[in-house]
């Protein structure tokens, strides 16, 4: 009964996306940390995660959304930035960092608004 409150598909999806954003921040942190390590290959969220999340949301299957696990993988498409084989581009990473922070703001607001709506439905008055 109480489970149903927190298991709407879009709420679950927002939580998963938030997990993914936190993990992505870790990837960007490690990329920027290894800006000058020879032969380092940049890591990012595995591209399959985005596609899987979209498909799971479209299907509306809660179990399928809940089973998703974001993972990091070396970026296969990144080109070397210099002759030492390092594939991290500083500008690109900083751009991704900002983008990721904005996505995080959006998703926390999504989660917050869901919780506030629930609260409104329970109490009957806006907090």
Partner 1 sequence: MIQMLSGIQHTAAALNVERTRLDVIAQNIANAQTTRDAQGKPYQRQVVVFETALQQSLATGQTAPEASLRVARIQKDPRPPTLVYRPGHPDADAHGMVAMPNVNLHEEMADLITASRAFEANLAVVRSARTMAMQTLAIGKR
* Interface contacts to partner 1, rule CB under 8 A: 18, 21-23, 25-30, 32-38, 40-41, 43, 69, 71-74, 90, 93-94, 97-98, 100-101, 104-105, 108, 111-112, 115-116, 127
C-beta of 51 vs 115, nearer to partner 1: 115
Question: What is the phi/psi pair of residue 44, to 5°?
Answer: -155, 175
**The two structure tokens encoding residue 119:** 């609260």
Distances (CA, A) of 114 to 13, 63, 81, 102, 124: 12, 19, 43, 19, 15
């Amino acid at each position: 009964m109480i489970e149903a409150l927190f298991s709407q598909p879009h709420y679950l999806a927002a939580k998963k996306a938030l997990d993914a954003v936190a993990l992505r921040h870790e990837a960007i942190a490690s990329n920027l940390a290894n800006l000058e390590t020879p032969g380092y290959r940049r890591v990012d969220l595995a591209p399959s995660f985005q596609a899987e999340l979209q498909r799971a949301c479209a299907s509306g299957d809660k179990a399928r959304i809940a089973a998703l696990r974001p993972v990091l993988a070396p970026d296969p498409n990144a080109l070397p930035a210099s002759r030492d084989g390092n594939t991290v581009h500083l500008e690109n990473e900083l751009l991704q960092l900002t983008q990721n922070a904005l996505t995080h703001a959006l998703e926390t607001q999504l989660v917050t608004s869901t919780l506030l709506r629930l609260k409104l439905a329970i109490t009957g008055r806006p907090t």
